[in-house]
């Protein structure tokens, strides 16, 4: 941290000294208008540096720098260079004192106020330098027109420095906003995956509950028949019941995570949601080394609070299309209003689905995807997507031919847009 501050301090001094050589001499003497003060003022506004300490060090550095430049380039003797440039020290010290007294550092959010205060500090510093030069015997004839020039230059230099700070601050805020947006989208995609897993777990729990009941009935039947291994059936029922309780605890934890994250954005426009799916799967295609162009088109101005169910459904379908396309291709997500329903259409130009497989793709466990080692995928993605669509009161269909596969999801507008108070618990509870 100390090295970082030292580096900033050195940068401020060097930029002030170097830009101080970009100058004009309006009164014909050694007094100059330069760009050095803009670099100095910008450094005070943008970085956390001590104002007075930096002003004193800048004054000393600029005087020494100009003496050295005069000696090396023009052969000016050391004592003459000191007399010529010594008043500049008081310019930077006066500027720092005025900035400190006006407490500009604590009012940086008031941009116009800071700009005018900076201009006042510039004028006061120019006045101090002129007085020192006159006191040291340098002839000076400052007219009213030249005073107006000092005022104008002070305003220009101050507003330029403040404007540059504002431009950089706006860029920084935009970059942070973009980073925040990407992070929020990443969290929402993770939550969509968690929602899908919670939905699957809830379905499994209903089967576990049925197995528990059947095991207990078997125990009672075997006990009534005095079967010697009846206790084993009871033991199985007890263990299955424990598994059910563990599953309920896991489901509760997943649901809490989903609900906490859902508070970040209770509603989202359908257009933004589709754009999220587009961006996520474009990145997925790059990860797979494929060139897949994904285009989301949504002209309807509606928003929904069913974020994670829709993300889960659309992401499953689009990611399957990305995986099905061999090397390069196109996927289009189209959203339209049809009667009282929202119609999501996902179309790709992949190899297509065989006719005898169309009726099976929504069945749990059915898959046509295998990894490099020949292991099949779980085959539950489209099954979950279909179940979620049905529980949203909609329907899903698919038609396919070589070079074109199209999924259609139809859900009522009322279900997606007028149920802001409905929690995902309705879907998870079945």
Say yes or no to pLDDT of 186 above 80.
no
Per-residue pLDDT at 181? 78
Region 424-430: mean pLDDT is: 48
More confident: 157 or 242: 157
Per-residue pLDDT at 346? 95
> In this predicted structure, which of 232-246, 280-294, 372-386 has the lowest mean pLDDT?
372-386
pLDDT-based confidence at residue 99 (cuts at 50, 70, 90): very high
Using CB atoms within 10 A of its CB, is residue 420 exposed (0-12), middle (13-18) or buried (19+)? Answer: exposed
More confident: 407 or 197: 407
Instruction: Please say whether the beta carbons of 222 and 233 come within 8 A.
Output: yes
> In this predicted structure, which of 168-172, 212-216, 345-349 has the lowest mean pLDDT?
212-216
Per-residue pLDDT at 211? 76
HSE at residue 80, side-chain half, CA atoms within 13 A, is: 8
> In this predicted structure, which of 179-188, 247-256, 287-296, 400-409 has the lowest mean pLDDT?
247-256
pLDDT per residue over 140-183, tens digit each? 666 788 889 889 999 999 999 999 988 988 888 888 888 887 78
Per-residue pLDDT at 425? 46
More confident: 350 or 262: 350
Per the DSSP assignment, residues forming a β-bridge with 294 are 331
More confident: 412 or 137: 412
Give the pairing type, strands 404-412 and 395-401.
antiparallel
More confident: 55 or 234: 55
pLDDT per residue over 390-407, tens digit each? 888 899 999 998 889 999
Per the DSSP assignment, residues forming a β-bridge with 161 are none
Say yes or no to pLDDT of 61 above 90.
yes
More confident: 290 or 26: 290
Per-residue pLDDT at 263? 46
Percent of the chain's residues with pLDDT above 90? 30
Q: What is the mean pLDDT of the chain?
A: 82
Separation between Cα atoms, residue 37 and residue 98, nearest integer Å: 14
Say yes or no to pLDDT of 409 above 90.
yes
pLDDT-based confidence at residue 110 (cuts at 50, 70, 90): confident
Per-residue pLDDT at 52? 92
Percent of the chain's residues with pLDDT above 70? 84
The strands making up 404-412's β-sheet, listed across from edge to edge, are: 291-298, 328-338, 341-348, 404-412, 395-401
Separation between Cα atoms, residue 205 and residue 148, nearest integer Å: 83
Instruction: Please say whether the beta carbons of 331 and 346 come within 8 A.
Output: yes
Say yes or no to pLDDT of 376 above 50.
no
Separation between Cα atoms, residue 326 and residue 389, nearest integer Å: 28
Using CB atoms within 10 A of its CB, is residue 290 exposed (0-12), middle (13-18) or buried (19+)? Answer: middle
By three-state DSSP, how is residue 33 classified?
Answer: strand
Instruction: Please say whether the beta carbons of 194 and 254 come within 8 A.
Output: yes
Say yes or no to pLDDT of 414 above 80.
yes
pLDDT-based confidence at residue 380 (cuts at 50, 70, 90): low
Separation between Cα atoms, residue 275 and residue 261, nearest integer Å: 19
Per-residue pLDDT at 370? 47
Say yes or no to pLDDT of 125 above 90.
yes
Region 94-115: mean pLDDT is: 88
Tell which residue, 370, 356, 422, has the closest CA to residue 393.
422
The 10 Å Cβ neighbour count of residue 353 is 19
Separation between Cα atoms, residue 75 and residue 94, nearest integer Å: 30
Region 187-200: mean pLDDT is: 69
Tell which residue, 133, 400, 373, has the closest CA to residue 382.
400
Say yes or no to pLDDT of 4 above 50.
yes
Separation between Cα atoms, residue 209 and residue 220, nearest integer Å: 17
User: What pTM value is reported for the model?
Assistant: 0.56
């Amino acid at each position: 941290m100390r090295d970082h501050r030292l580096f900033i301090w050195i940068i401020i001094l060097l930029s002030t000294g170097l830009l101080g050589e970009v100058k004009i001499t309006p009164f014909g003497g050694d007094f100059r208008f330069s760009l050095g003060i803009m670099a100095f003022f910008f450094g005070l506004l943008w970085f956390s540096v001590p104002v007075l300490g930096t002003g004193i060090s800048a004054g000393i550095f600029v005087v020494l720098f100009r003496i050295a430049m005069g000696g090396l380039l023009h052969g000016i003797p050391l004592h003459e260079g000191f007399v010529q440039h010594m008043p500049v020290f008081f310019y930077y010290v006066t500027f720092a004192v005025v900035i400190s007294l006006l407490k500009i550092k604590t009012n940086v959010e008031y941009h116009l106020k800071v700009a005018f205060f900076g201009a006042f500090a510039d004028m006061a510093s120019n006045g101090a330098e002129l007085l020192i030069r006159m006191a040291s015997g340098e002839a000076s004839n400052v007219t009213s027109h030249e005073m107006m020039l000092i005022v104008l230059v002070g305003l220009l230099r101050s507003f330029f420095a403040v404007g540059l700070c504002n431009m950089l601050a706006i860029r920084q805020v935009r970059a942070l906003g973009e980073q925040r947006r990407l992070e929020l989208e990443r969290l929402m995609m993770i939550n969509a995956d968690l929602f899908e897993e919670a939905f699957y777990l809830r379905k499994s729990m209903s089967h576990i509950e049925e197995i528990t009941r059947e095991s207990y009935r078997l125990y009672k039947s075997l006990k009534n028949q005095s079967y010697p291994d009846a206790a084993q059936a009871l033991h199985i029922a007890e263990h299955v019941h424990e598994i059910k309780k563990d599953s309920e605890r896991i489901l509760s934890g997943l649901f809490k995570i989903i609900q906490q994250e859902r508070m970040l954005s209770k509603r989202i426009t359908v257009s933004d949601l589709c754009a999220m799916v587009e961006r996520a799967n474009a990145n997925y295609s790059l990860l797979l080394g494929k060139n897949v162009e994904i285009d989301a088109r949504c002209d309807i101005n509606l928003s929904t609070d069913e974020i994670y169910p829709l993300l889960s459904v659309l992401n499953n379908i689009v990611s399957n299309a990305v995986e099905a396309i061999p090397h390069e291709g196109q996927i289009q997500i189209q959203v339209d209003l049809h009667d009282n329903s929202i119609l999501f259409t996902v179309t790709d130009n992949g190899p297509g689905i065989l006719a005898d497989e169309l009726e099976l793709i929504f069945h749990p466990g059915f898959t046509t995807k295998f990894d490099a080692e020949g292991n099949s995928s779980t085959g539950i993605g489209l099954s979950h997507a279909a179940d979620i669509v049905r529980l949203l009161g909609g329907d899903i269909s698919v038609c396919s031919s070589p070079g074109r596969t199209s999924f259609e999801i139809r859900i009522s507008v009322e279900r997606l847009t007028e149920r802001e108070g409905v929690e995902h618990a309705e879907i998870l509870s079945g």
